[in-house]
Amino acid sequence: MFLEKPIFSKSTYLFFFSLLGIVYFIGLFVPLMDNDSAHHADIALRMYLTGDYVTLADARGDYLDKPHLLFWLAALSYKIFGVTTFAYKLPSFLFTVLGTYSTFRLGKLLYNTETGNLAALIVATAFSYVLANNDVRMDAMLTACVVFSIWQLIAFIQTRKYINVFGAAIGLAAGFSTKGHIAVFVPAVAVLFYLFYQKNLKIIFNIKWLLMLLLFALFIAPVVYCYYLQFNLHPEKTVRGKDHINGVKFILFNQSIERFGGEMGNDAKHDYFFFLHSFLWAFAPWSIIAYWAVISRLKEFTKRKYEWLTIGTFLTMLLVISLSGFKLPHYLNIIFPTTAILTAAFLLQNKTKPKWGTTIFIIQTFIVVVLSLATIILNAWAFPVQSFILIVCSMLLLSVVFYFYLSQPLQKIQKAIGASVAAVILVFFLLNSNFYPALLTYQAGKGIADSTRGKVNPKEVYFWKDTYSSSYHFYSASLHQTFTDSTLKLGEKKWLAFDKQDEAEIKKHGYILGKHFELPDYEVTKLTLKFLNPEKRATECTQFVLAEISR
């Protein structure tokens, strides 16, 4: 085992985490994107507005997919802070803090304090880990629950304390109540590899595991019961063309199986290298070092020189995700904490080797240059920074990057890690303070909600046929209403939301459109070079319209 010698001082770690805290905090106010983020926020909004905390439903009807915890916490946050971006994102941010701390504690248990510190810094600056607090879905909460559970389970194995039994049970239950079986599967894999490494399988027969199981069952009971109330008691409900749905069976057994088999989607279904190439950007700027660490550990696997938990979890999830019929990049987040520990341990193990340090320096410098160039393109060409204060702050952060390169006392490995961390902070500072706010002005739902506040009653707004805008509903704090022929009585006026290209069809049905609000609209999660080009952007946008309608 390598010696515990800090690669950075406490003050340097404090400096980095303080800057990261500012960047994450700014992200709490970046508007929600019109994908799963705003969609999930709307499910919680429906709970908040109706007072029905049992039923999961969206604009299309009953929602049979995820458990309740994210929605419950978001709805609770709405009650405290109002229906705002900050309120929806806050629970996930708090879980991220827990997840980062849990990474530190797990790294300390498996190795030492310095490994824990560096692992926490690595995971907190991994691209997709930060992004999970901007484009908020279940991933930030799930990742935190997974690493917290692993920490508590390993602590229990080492100490046999009841507090860790309780901690593991609540962590596993919170993860299950966020996204189902995967939150139990990953910690189970981690623990098994840890026990195999220790040759300590006898502990499986400890009676306290039974207590942990009972507590887990107790803690997930509210979610299971809600599924029973929503679906088992209502066999007439239809989701994805099926009725007589057994909600209890779905949440306890089928939810993850359907995803693994591709029944709930087919994103990259036959891309068996999905994990390998997605991990490169998702875990950036640390992904190349992480792959290097994995290969190094594989070579030494049978020698039992280092723990098996981190490498075993990485390889198992690589296999599972590669074979899964439903793949999305953010599914990789759940292995980031253990991978960060593996990467940190690998860096500290080799930090005194001069040639190795030079190689890492070259790799990370290349990544820093790529990140910097991409940031310049996005914030100087696509959406130029207009604020003098942002320019000054960006220059100060850029000076931190250069400090690590130019500081003579620092070793190359310290320069490589420090500059990488500073570069990520700079990138997400500009993304959160400039790029995303500018980009999301082309997401018309929020813009329409803001411009019509006090002018249009959201309760009188209806949507044409298959038109949806989760961001409009969230920022107008309203529920989706679909326009039908019976919606409008003769001589009555309502408001209709529609895509500009549907205007001719609406008029063809005999409806008269009056006063209207209109904004350019673009699917901001699917960026193209044409859209990023300011000169061609307008041609890539559709027009989202909210118009007064009458017969």
Q: What is the mean pLDDT of residues 40-56?
A: 97
The highest-confidence range among 206-220, 231-245, 273-287, by mean pLDDT, is: 206-220
pLDDT above 90: percentage of residues in the chain = 85
**Residue 261: predicted pLDDT:** 58
**Residue 353: predicted pLDDT:** 86
Point out the least confidently predicted range of 108-117, 205-214, 268-277, 447-456. 268-277
pTM: 0.95
**Residue 326: predicted pLDDT:** 67
**Residue 304: predicted pLDDT:** 86
**Residue 2: predicted pLDDT:** 47
Q: Is residue 325 over pLDDT 70?
A: no
What letter would DSSP give residue 493? -
pLDDT above 70: percentage of residues in the chain = 96
Cα three-residue angle 262-236-226, rounded to 5 degrees: 70
Q: What is the mean pLDDT of residues 481-490?
A: 90
Q: Is residue 413 over pLDDT 60?
A: yes
Give how far Cα 343 sits from Cα of 119, 126, 389, 423, Å. 7, 12, 36, 18
**Residue 303: predicted pLDDT:** 85
**Residue 459: predicted pLDDT:** 95
Which tens digits make up the pLDDT trace of 441-457?
999 999 999 999 999 99
Q: Is residue 4 over pLDDT 60?
A: no
Interatomic CA distance for residues 142 and 118, integer angstroms? 22
Which tens digits make up the pLDDT trace of 360-373?
999 999 999 999 99
Closest CA relative to residue 69, chosen from 56, 59, 80:
56
**Residue 321: predicted pLDDT:** 87
The model's confidence at residue 301, banded by pLDDT at 50, 70 and 90, is: confident
Complete DSSP assignment for 79-138: HHH-SSHHHHHHHHHHHHHHHHHHHHHHHHHHT-HHHHHHHHHHHHT-HHHHHTTTS-SS
Interatomic CA distance for residues 48 and 78, integer angstroms? 7
> 386-411 as b/e, with b when 16 or more CB fall inside 10 Å?
eeeeeeebbeebeebbeebbeeeebe
- Domain-by-domain residue ranges, the chain? 31-350, 354-441, 444-550
Cα three-residue angle 518-523-527, rounded to 5 degrees: 130
Q: Could you tell me which residue, 276 or 447, shows the higher pLDDT?
A: 447
**Residue 489: predicted pLDDT:** 84
Which tens digits make up the pLDDT trace of 139-189?
999 999 999 999 999 999 999 999 999 999 999 999 999 999 999 999 999
**Residue 76: predicted pLDDT:** 98
Report yes or no: 49 and 479 within 8 Å, Cβ to Cβ.
yes
